[in-house]
């Protein structure tokens, strides 16, 4: 498929992937009522990895791993510590403390942070649109975080907001660290190796720190939701995303990522009944606008 023949229907799978990523915020909030964030992160990674592994085996892509050098395999595994294990701990710890809508907006700053990190660590050129985008997005973050007023009491949990922003930073670091790796290898294979190591690390860490007794009392609903979350948010969304990126113009496909926080806010309202004062929505718009400016305009 070429850029000229791509039909609107070709972009539908991207919308589905963004929907599943957005759905993870309100569903995660529900699960965390009875499940510890570490346990949820571990189950999410294990289920997601298994679904991706099945996809790779069925499509015959698994054999492409043989083309990886030993160094690239080790690098992919190392990425799992930052991009998946640490990210899961941070984002679900945030979700256990702050509304799903707020977490979705704050985590979406990872796109802006990727731009910022690429300037700092990769030496990419600083342009005025990039600088403007960063400033606008950070102004939005302040409004989202303090949408109930600039007070430590009666406002949002600032620790939870901090976890959310650190989650965004961890995923941005994962992207920057793996940039050259995915340029010379299949990105889904790199992701699957990172998923594997992330799942092993977080499962081991959870077992040592918490044990797994708490999962037995989580309840059937929580287990079904955890399986659904891992299968859709990771297992389906990642293969769909990388498949569409290989067939569609990257600039158009990547634009769909901006829909994720918008969909997450809508779904959090419909599922959880979350609603906020006008500073939150203004801040969300500024975050999204800053992300678009900093990553699209060069």
| The pLDDT of residue 1 | 40
How many Cβ atoms are within 10 Å of 123's Cβ, its own excluded? 8
Is 17 a domain residue? no
Q: Which of 3-7, 93-97, 266-270 has the lowest mean pLDDT?
A: 3-7
Q: Give the integer Cα–Cα distance in Å for 95 and 37.
A: 8
Residue 241, token pair as written in the block: 């995303």
Asked if residues 172 and 107 have their Cβ atoms less than 8 Å apart, the reply is no
Mean pLDDT of 138-167: 74
Find the domain containing 228 and state its range. 27-296
Assess whether pLDDT exceeds 70 at residue 7. Answer: no
| The pLDDT of residue 284 | 83
Is 3 a domain residue? no
Q: Give the integer Cα–Cα distance in Å for 272 and 275.
A: 9
| The pLDDT of residue 209 | 94
Residue 270, token pair as written in the block: 């419909």
Is 6 a domain residue? no
Number of domains, the chain: 1
| The pLDDT of residue 151 | 44
Assess whether pLDDT exceeds 90 at residue 170. Answer: yes
Is 2 a domain residue? no
Q: Give the integer Cα–Cα distance in Å for 237 and 228.
A: 12
Mean pLDDT of 141-148: 72
Averaged confidence pLDDT in the chain: 86
Residue 240, token pair as written in the block: 């769909």
pTM exceeds 0.75: yes
Mean pLDDT of 244-266: 76
Mean pLDDT of 80-86: 95
Say how far residue 215 (Cα) sits from the centre of its chain: 24
| The pLDDT of residue 210 | 94
pLDDT grade for 5, boundaries at 50, 70 and 90: low
Percent of the chain whose pLDDT exceeds 70: 89
Is 94 a domain residue? yes
Mean pLDDT of 122-139: 76
Assess whether pLDDT exceeds 80 at residue 131. Answer: no
Is 21 a domain residue? no
Angle of CA points 136, 139, 141, to nearest 5°: 115
Is 16 a domain residue? no
| The pLDDT of residue 191 | 95
- Which residue in this structure is represented by tokens 């965004």? 168
pLDDT tens-digit readout, 197-251: 999 999 999 999 999 988 888 889 999 999 999 999 999 999 998 888 777 766 5
Q: Give the integer Cα–Cα distance in Å for 192 and 199.
A: 10
Is 13 a domain residue? no
């Amino acid at each position: 498929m070429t850029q000229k023949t791509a039909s609107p229907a070709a972009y539908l799978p991207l919308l589905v992937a963004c929907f599943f990523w957005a759905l993870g915020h309100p569903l995660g909030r529900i699960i965390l009522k009875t499940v510890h964030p570490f346990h949820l992160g571990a189950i999410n990674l294990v289920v997601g990895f298994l679904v991706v592994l099945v996809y790779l085996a069925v499509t015959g892509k698994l054999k492409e791993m043989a083309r990886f050098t030993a160094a690239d395999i080790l690098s992919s595994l190392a990425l799992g510590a930052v991009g998946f294990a640490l990210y899961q701990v941070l984002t679900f710890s945030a979700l256990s403390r702050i509304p799903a809508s707020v977490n979705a907006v704050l985590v979406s700053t990872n796109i802006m942070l990727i731009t910022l990190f690429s300037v700092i660590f990769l030496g990419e050129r600083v342009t005025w649109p990039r600088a403007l985008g960063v400033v606008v997005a950070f102004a939005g973050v302040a409004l989202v975080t303090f949408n109930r007023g600039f007070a430590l009491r009666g406002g949002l949990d600032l620790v939870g907001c901090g976890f959310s922003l650190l989650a965004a930073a961890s995923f941005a670091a994962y992207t920057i660290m793996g940039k050259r790796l995915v340029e010379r290898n299949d990105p889904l294979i790199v992701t699957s190796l990172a998923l594997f190591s992330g799942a092993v690390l977080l499962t081991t860490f959870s077992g040592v720190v918490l044990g797994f007794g708490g999962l037995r009392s989580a309840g059937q609903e929580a287990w079904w939701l955890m399986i659904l979350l891992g299968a859709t948010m990771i297992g389906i969304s990642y293969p769909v995303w990388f498949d569409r990126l290989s067939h569609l113009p990257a600039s158009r496909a990547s634009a769909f990522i901006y829909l994720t926080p918008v969909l997450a806010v809508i779904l959090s309202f419909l599922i959880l009944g979350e609603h906020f004062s006008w500073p939150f929505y203004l801040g969300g718009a500024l975050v999204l606008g800053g992300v678009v400016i900093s990553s699209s305009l060069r």
